[in-house]
Amino acid sequence: MSPIDPKPQVWLQQLGQQTDNHYLKLVAEELMKAHITFSEKSNEENVYGILLADESLLESSSTKLLCEYLDQCENLILVYTGEKPLPFFKVWELLKTGIEEVLSFQDSSTLSHTLKTKLQRWSVIKRIMQSDTITDYLIGSSKRWIKTLRQIVEIACFSSVPVLIQGESGTGKELVARLIHELDKRPDKQDLILLDCTTIVPELSGSEFFGHEKGAFTNAVASRDGAFALADRGTLFLDEIGELPMRLQAELLRVSQEGLYKKVGSNHWRKTKFRLVSATHRDLQGEVEAGRFRQDLYYRIRTCAIRLPSLKERKFDILELAAHFLKQSLNKNDVPAFSPMMIRYLLSQDFPGNVRELKQLIARIAYRYYGSGVITLGHLPIADREQYDFQEDEWKENGFHEAISQAISDGIGLKEIKKSVGEIAIDFAIKESAGNLQQAAKKLQVSDRMIQAYWSEKNKRSG
C-alpha cells in the first residue's frame, strides 16, 4: 500500500457570510501546524472540506446552506466555534445530513492532531478508491454507491473483524467479499474460502465445515480438510448464511469465538483463525425474532455491517454499468454508445435482479450487435420488448411523485419546488450534452440565452 499522503488538499470555509474571520485564521494556523495545505475555494482536487460554524448553526435556515456545501465536497468536517455548547441532538442531526465529523474549537489543544489523523485516513481511502482494484470491478460513481464503497474500503483495510454483507440478490455481495479479502492488510494472510450455505447437504454438513478423518462415516475413504482448516489465517466467506441450519449456527459461533474445532471422527482439537465474512439477502433481525437464527451468532457476524443498495437505489450508475458490461461482452475497449432511446429504456427499468440482471440484459443486446453504429432499441431481443409496456407519462411515476410529496411534507413551497425541478433538469441536460450548452438548450426546448445565464450564475456562486 502507498505511504500516507502527508499533505492532503483541504478546502477551508465558513458557514454563510460570517464577518468575523478570527476563528478562520486560528483554524488555518492549526492546519499549518499539521502541515496540511488548504485553500478557501473548492475545486476538484480539494475533496476534503473543513467548515466553520458559530451559533447560527442552531438556526433551521442553516440546513439548506449545509446541503450546498455537502454538494461541493465528498468529505466534510464541521468545526463548531460557538460559545454555547452544541446539543447532542444537533450533532446527531448534522451527522445524518452527511457531515463526517463534528469537532469543537474549544478543544483546540487537540484540534490539529485530530484533523491530521482524520484527513490522512481519508487520503488512504481515496487512493484505494481510485485504484484499479476498485475501478475495474465495482463500477459506479453515484453518491450512494461511493459512500458504500468508502465504507467497504475502510472496514477492509483498518479492521479484521467479522463482516456481514446484506443486500438483495444480484447486488454484488460475493464481489464485495472478495474485495474485503484482497484489501485485508494481515501480513500472513492466506486464501479466501467460499462456502455457499444453500448447497450444503445436511448429512455432510459437519464434514463441509470441520473436515473428516478416514473411516469417519460410510464413503469416507480418505481424510479431508473442511472450511475451518482451509480458511486458517485467511478469510471464510459464508454466502447466504441465513440458510444455515440451527445446529450448524451453534457450532459456527463456538469455532469463530474460540478458534478450536475437531474433525468428524477425531478426538484431536485443532486451531484455526480466520476472518469471517457472511452474506445474506434475508432480514436476519427478523429471522432472529422468528426464532430461525441465533441471536448470539447474529451479533457475532455483524460486528461490521454493510448494506449494498439495490440498482433501483443507484439508478445514476446504470449507464456506467451498462457500458462496462458491454465492453466485457464485446471483448473490446472501444465500445459503441447507447442511443438516446436506448438510454431512456435502460433508465426506465426497475431491474429487480439488480446488477446481475442488467449484466444479463447487456449480454443479450451484445450478441445482436452487428459491429457498427450505436446501440439502439432494435438490438433488444423480442422477449425483452414483450416484457416492457411503455406509458406516455411513466417518467412521472419514476420516483417523481414521491420526491414532490416529500418536499411538500417538509414545508417547501410551490415556487421553490418549481425552481429546484428546473435546475435539476438543466443540470442533467448539460451533463448529457457533455457540457455543450446549445445542445442542452435544444434538449430542454428553451433558448440558448437562458441556459447560458443559468450556467454563468451557477459558476459565479461556486467560484
C-alpha to C-alpha distance for 48 and 111, rounded to whole angstroms = 16
Q: 378-409 burial, b if ≥16 CB within 10 A, otherwise e?
A: ebbeeeeeeeeeeeeeeeeeeeeeeeeeebee
C-alpha to C-alpha distance for 4 and 127, rounded to whole angstroms = 9
Q: Walk along the chain (463 residues) and give the pLDDT tens digit of each residue.
A: 333 444 567 888 887 655 567 888 888 887 887 777 787 766 655 578 888 888 887 776 677 778 777 877 778 899 988 888 888 988 998 888 889 999 988 777 788 888 888 888 888 998 899 899 898 889 998 888 999 999 999 999 999 999 999 999 999 999 999 999 999 999 999 999 999 999 887 767 778 898 888 877 777 778 888 999 999 999 999 999 999 988 899 999 999 999 999 988 888 999 999 999 999 999 999 999 999 999 999 999 999 999 999 999 998 899 999 999 999 999 988 889 999 889 889 988 889 999 999 999 999 999 999 888 899 999 999 888 877 666 655 555 556 666 777 677 667 788 888 888 888 888 888 877 778 888 888 888 888 888 888 888 877 665 5
Q: Which residue has the cell 494556523?
A: 29
Q: Are 320 and 136 in contact (CB under 8 A)?
A: no
Question: Which residue(s) pair with 304 in the sheet?
Answer: 163
C-alpha to C-alpha distance for 378 and 385, rounded to whole angstroms = 9
> Any residues with CB less than 8 A from the CB of 279 and at least 6 apart, and which?
164, 165, 166, 167, 173, 174, 176, 177, 237, 238, 239, 240, 241
Write out the H or E segment, with its range, that includes residue 382. Answer: helix 382-387
Query: What local confidence, expressed as pLDDT, does residue 265 receive?
Result: 85
In a 3-state reduction of DSSP, which class is residue 280? strand
C-alpha to C-alpha distance for 138 and 230, rounded to whole angstroms = 27
Grid coordinates of 299: 451479533
Query: What local confidence, expressed as pLDDT, does residue 17 receive?
Result: 59
Grid coordinates of 333: 475497449
Q: Are 346 and 336 in contact (CB under 8 A)?
A: no
C-alpha to C-alpha distance for 8 and 34, rounded to whole angstroms = 10
Q: Which residue has the cell 465504507?
A: 151
Query: What local confidence, expressed as pLDDT, does residue 271 receive?
Result: 95
- How many Å separate Cα 121 from the centre of its chain? 17
Grid coordinates of 25: 485564521
C-alpha to C-alpha distance for 306 and 379, rounded to whole angstroms = 37
Taken in order 324, 328, 333, 337, is the CA torsion positive or negative?
Answer: negative
pTM above 0.85, yes or no: no
Query: What local confidence, expressed as pLDDT, does residue 215 receive?
Result: 74
C-alpha to C-alpha distance for 99 and 76, rounded to whole angstroms = 5
Write out the H or E segment, with its range, that includes residue 90. Answer: helix 88-97
Across 355-451, where does the E strand assignment appear?
none
Tell me the residue type at 311: L
Domain architecture of the chain: domains with CATH: 10-129 (3.40.50.2300), 160-307 (3.40.50.300), 311-390 (1.10.8.60), 396-462 (1.10.10)
C-alpha to C-alpha distance for 318 and 192, rounded to whole angstroms = 30
In a 3-state reduction of DSSP, which class is residue 360? helix
> Any residues with CB less than 8 A from the CB of 342 and at least 6 apart, and which?
374, 375, 376, 377, 379
Query: What local confidence, expressed as pLDDT, does residue 436 receive?
Result: 86
> Any residues with CB less than 8 A from the CB of 85 and at least 6 apart, and which?
none
In a 3-state reduction of DSSP, which class is residue 179? helix
- How many Å separate Cα 416 from the centre of its chain? 30
Query: What local confidence, expressed as pLDDT, does residue 4 receive?
Result: 42
C-alpha to C-alpha distance for 229 and 462, rounded to whole angstroms = 57
> Any residues with CB less than 8 A from the CB of 377 and at least 6 apart, and which?
339, 341, 342, 345, 385
C-alpha to C-alpha distance for 318 and 322, rounded to whole angstroms = 6
| Gyration radius of the chain's alpha carbons | 27
Query: What local confidence, expressed as pLDDT, does residue 387 receive?
Result: 72
Query: What local confidence, expressed as pLDDT, does residue 150 receive?
Result: 93
